[in-house]
Amino acid sequence: MKIIVTGANGQLGQELVKQLTDSEHDLFVFTKTDLDITDTERVLTVCNDIKPQIIINAAAYTNVDGAETNKELAFQVNAVGQRNLTVAAEKVGAKICYISTDYVFNGQATSPYNEYMNVDPLGVYGQSKYAGEFLTQTLNTKYFIVRTAWVYGEYGPNFVKTMLKLAEEKSELGVVHDQVGSPTYTVDLAEFIIELVQTEKYGIYHCTNSGTCSWFEFAQEIFKLANKDIKVKPLTSDQFSRPAKRPAYSVLGDLSVRINGFIPRRSWKEALDEYINKNNNLH
């Protein structure tokens, strides 16, 4: 099969390319420089020339705080860019996969959000990603929407790398304890996406590693597994003020994953342990 991956130089994009490179598929890889997904005509031309069976869009504007002051850019990439790929996919009969976020929810739940619950994003980033979801569902008959959260991996900056870098500079750190979610290792996320897009089980899916934690607990586990003697102080979100409001509880339940016969991902602690053991030089 011919598979297009956009956003191929991003954290998830690079992991998708790594896993797909050894497969039997014909892979067409595009970075932002290779293909600006906001350019409607260029997207249509590229997709018409290649005529892929699958398009995985890993390109995104992901600066949660920056989106508050760059609303047009966030929507241009996350909504218009996704619309362009969705329309192009429909024209050539391709499946489209859109990577979305836990930030489409308002965080007021007390149990995990399943794929069929109503969304209510708090900030511009979540609003722009939901706009991309809506356009995907409206404009293509063969779509996969994969919501994920708290992503980290071998490539690009992420929370784990930031914590370990700070551990080299400080003996004490403050981390918020009143935001709860589920970390996601890009290896596990990419494996699920690649398995999913080869089926016809279209719809919305939640993919994170299993289990939940706060950012504070996540940081504690990182330092424990990396053998770093760092004192971690719990902070409230109010003490760690940011331009964009974050959901207090954004745990993603995997109802759709399970009822469609897919295996839920391993625990976040197990995934984090593998990541830290594999990547000794993380920062």
Q: Which residues are catalytic?
A: 125
User: Are 161 and 231 spatial neighbours (Cβ–Cβ below 8 Å)?
Assistant: no
- What dihedral do alpha carbons 7, 137, 194, 259 form, nearest 10°? 150
User: Are 244 and 186 spatial neighbours (Cβ–Cβ below 8 Å)?
Assistant: no
Phi and psi at 174, nearest 5°, equal -105, 130
| Other beta carbons less than 10 A from residue 193's beta carbon | 25
| Other beta carbons less than 10 A from residue 21's beta carbon | 10
Count how many Cα atoms sit within 13 Å of the Cα of residue 32 in the half-sphere of its side chain. Answer: 6
Write the single-letter amino acid at 103. Answer: Y
